[in-house]
Chains A and B, each alone.
Chain A
């Protein structure tokens, strides 16, 4: 049964950087938030992380649920697996709210994309629902999203803590990476899609941000945004490392190793093709687990410079964020040892007994 905490406080409006109201709940309406619905795919996982519970989430996007089921969040919060996931349907990319289903669920607030036009927000507003708008794609927006979820959950301290964690990890990594000579910097390509055709993340993408953060060079930076390329172009860039997205469930490094052309690329010859991990949410796009992703990538690229005990970091941060102590197999699953296990340098992530530790 849903645990419903009373939060007898009035929420102040949180303004996005563009000045639009992110959180449109009327100030006079100070009923506690007990029922939340989230439409942006990562927002369900982010809300659960900030709230530390899945009890107040009453609706989510179907792809949020598949991410929860695919990763460890479903194991941490089994009740998240049965949350209604039929609240969004239709529209060019599937984020048009199903207002009648939402009305049935009677949420106190619906989280929606704030940067994909008003067409997907207006139906919620017209139905008299409170909306919280979330923007996505940059580190600043990721932090804003945590702040927003903290406001909705009534747990701004938790959100601030998660933001401080990001800040600390990013600052530490950036400082070490900045001191690195240019000739040491490895060329990295993030394949946002690889199962059918190849799509890379160029400049102005979140992947570009963390590749540069850890001291790498985004080989696809001459492009802006996510764009389709051909194998010849990938060979021309000759990346040292290829990162495979965590979205295409069936995609594994074998896609590159078995390709007649790409198997001859430097990254494949040196077995430096890695599938991005998936924890409480996928590690490649912006979410609350990004600091772990940065540590993972930093250590993969420059193991002599970044010496994290990543398994321990996962174990400790999960206890703080989710109140859940992951098992050895949970951590193996997060790091996708089954598909990345034989890649170069990946043995540093294999079985080290988890121990209790410090807070993130």
Chain B
């Protein structure tokens, strides 16, 4: 674990020299730019000023000089995609940051608790059964929560569940649900449901609608709010289990509150956008390099960066080619080299030290 400890300590040590307000302004500016860009780019040609005017027309009197289809594209296709990508990106990055703090391990991602394989199984099963819309979302969410409940029940020994046991149980439950996803794919119709399941599993916002936004938003926002409320306790938990107990923290309870919050976010994200890996793993690292490990700064920074990142990735996915590129492919292609570079840099520092 020396490498992992080194990464953690490096991240803790790496604090920005910029004043806080400048950092906050920077990430807020980045997010705004990413959102506006995402609203203006796409395969359907709409000039950016027209896209802005369409958006503005919802809150201010603007003389329309656009077609009905222009308006539909901006308001019904791009706007919900922007909101959904922002929500999911922010939620996943915040979950990753919180979990990495709780586990004191920078290699932890929201997938570690088996929630996303569980949600993936629920969604795949729903597609196999011919369900879509609310049924698909409901099935994914329900199975995500079921996976977390399984982890909770199996990891609890003598009334306690320590971190190692939780991670190992999460891996076991995740493997079980991954196998069940394979089973669903095995049973699926290669003409219709199999390609649908495969594409959905790779992650996409192509089916984003305001309905999906309204379904996902409460869960993601509630999860994010809970994580935010737990920011001080996560800081204490990141000191280590014994220290946290010595400081009077109800370690088990607080840990499970964070898990429940991240499960809510992960389940809702998978249900509306499929499985999007790497965001919860890579973005918290970038955020930590900017503001350090204090959750009070780390959580909002990670959220803003995560939202901006996923907006960028989604813009690429839908506008780069006529065919929609699965998000999971892009996040992995970008995330894996970044993560590898980070690992090498840390290892080099460790050797030199």
Chain A residues near B (Cβ < 8 Å)? 41, 63, 90, 93-95, 193, 195-199, 220, 222-223, 227-233, 235-236, 245, 247-248, 250, 260-261, 264-265
CB distance from A268 to the nearest CB of B (A): 11
Known interface pairs A220-B322, A236-B44; 15 further A-B residue pairs with C-beta atoms within 8 A, sorted by A's residue number = A193-B195, A197-B207, A223-B322, A223-B323, A227-B324, A228-B199, A228-B206, A229-B324, A230-B77, A231-B77, A232-B318, A233-B44, A247-B189, A250-B130, A261-B72
Whether the pair B204, A197 counts as a contact (CB closer than 8 A) is yes
How many Å lie between the Cα of A196 and that of B68 in the bound state? Answer: 25
How many Å lie between the Cα of A41 and that of B192 in the bound state? Answer: 13
1/0 per residue B173-213: CB within 8 Å of A? 00000000000001001111011100110001011010000
How many Å lie between the Cα of A95 and that of B42 in the bound state? Answer: 38
- Closest Cβ neighbor of A255 among chain B residues: B132
Known contacts A197-B200, A229-B322; is-contact A41 B76 (Cβ 8 Å): no
Whether the pair B73, A230 counts as a contact (CB closer than 8 A) is no
19 A-B pairs (CB sep. < 8 Å)? A63-B191, A94-B190, A195-B192, A196-B136, A228-B199, A228-B206, A229-B206, A231-B206, A232-B43, A232-B77, A233-B44, A235-B44, A235-B73, A235-B77, A247-B191, A248-B192, A250-B130, A260-B72, A264-B72
Q: Which residues of B contact A229 (CB under 8 A)?
A: 206, 322-324
Whether the pair A193, B192 counts as a contact (CB closer than 8 A) is yes
> Is B78 among interface residues, defined by CB-CB distance under 8 A?
yes
CB distance from B260 to the nearest CB of A (A): 29
Count class of interface residues, chain B:
20 to 34
> Is B45 among interface residues, defined by CB-CB distance under 8 A?
yes
CB distance from A249 to the nearest CB of B (A): 8
CB distance from B283 to the nearest CB of A (A): 24
1/0 per residue B96-140: CB within 8 Å of A? 000000000000000000000000000000010010100010000
Whether the pair A233, B73 counts as a contact (CB closer than 8 A) is no
CB distance from A26 to the nearest CB of B (A): 32
The 4 residue pairs across chains A and B that have the minimum distance between CB atoms: A227-B323, A196-B196, A247-B191, A93-B190
- Closest Cβ neighbor of B319 among chain A residues: A232
| Residues from 10 to 59 in B contacting A, C-beta threshold 8 Å | 42-45
Q: Which residues of B contact A198 (CB under 8 A)?
A: 206
Q: Which residues of A contact B77 (CB under 8 A)?
A: 230-232, 235, 261
CB distance from B256 to the nearest CB of A (A): 34
Known contacts A223-B323, A261-B72; is-contact A236 B206 (Cβ 8 Å): no
> Is B168 among interface residues, defined by CB-CB distance under 8 A?
no
CB distance from A253 to the nearest CB of B (A): 16
CB distance from A269 to the nearest CB of B (A): 10
Q: Which residues of A contact B195 (CB under 8 A)?
A: 193, 199
Whether the pair A247, B192 counts as a contact (CB closer than 8 A) is yes
Whether the pair B191, A261 counts as a contact (CB closer than 8 A) is no
1/0 per residue B127-162: CB within 8 Å of A? 100101000100000000000000000000000000
> Is B239 among interface residues, defined by CB-CB distance under 8 A?
no
How many Å lie between the Cα of A232 and that of B191 in the bound state? Answer: 24
CB distance from B320 to the nearest CB of A (A): 11
How many Å lie between the Cα of A199 and that of B76 in the bound state? Answer: 20
Q: Which residues of A contact B72 (CB under 8 A)?
A: 235, 260-261, 264
Whether the pair A93, B323 counts as a contact (CB closer than 8 A) is no
Q: Which residues of A contact B136 (CB under 8 A)?
A: 196
Whether the pair B68, A193 counts as a contact (CB closer than 8 A) is no
Whether the pair A196, B73 counts as a contact (CB closer than 8 A) is no
| Residues from 292 to 327 in B contacting A, C-beta threshold 8 Å | 318, 322-324, 326
How many Å lie between the Cα of A229 and that of B72 in the bound state? Answer: 17
Q: Which residues of B contact A264 (CB under 8 A)?
A: 68-69, 72
CB distance from A190 to the nearest CB of B (A): 14
How many Å lie between the Cα of A94 and that of B189 in the bound state? Answer: 8
Known contacts A229-B322, A247-B191, A260-B209; is-contact A236 B45 (Cβ 8 Å): yes
Known contacts A197-B206, A228-B324, A230-B324; is-contact A41 B191 (Cβ 8 Å): yes
Q: Which residues of B contact A41 (CB under 8 A)?
A: 191
Whether the pair A195, B196 counts as a contact (CB closer than 8 A) is yes
- Closest Cβ neighbor of A91 among chain B residues: B186
How many Å lie between the Cα of A228 and that of B322 in the bound state? Answer: 9
CB distance from A228 to the nearest CB of B (A): 5
Whether the pair B191, A228 counts as a contact (CB closer than 8 A) is no
- Closest Cβ neighbor of B318 among chain A residues: A230
How many Å lie between the Cα of A66 and that of B173 in the bound state? Answer: 35
Q: Which residues of A contact B132 (CB under 8 A)?
A: 195-196
Q: Which residues of B contact A94 (CB under 8 A)?
A: 186, 190, 194
Whether the pair B78, A232 counts as a contact (CB closer than 8 A) is yes
Q: Which residues of A contact B324 (CB under 8 A)?
A: 197, 227-230, 233
How many Å lie between the Cα of A227 and that of B136 in the bound state? Answer: 22
CB distance from B142 to the nearest CB of A (A): 18
How many Å lie between the Cα of A25 and that of B212 in the bound state? Answer: 56
How many Å lie between the Cα of A223 and that of B325 in the bound state? Answer: 13
Whether the pair B194, A93 counts as a contact (CB closer than 8 A) is yes
Q: Which residues of A contact B68 (CB under 8 A)?
A: 264
How many Å lie between the Cα of A90 and that of B185 in the bound state? Answer: 10
| Residues from 206 to 255 in B contacting A, C-beta threshold 8 Å | 206-207, 209
Known contacts A196-B127, A260-B76; is-contact A90 B323 (Cβ 8 Å): no
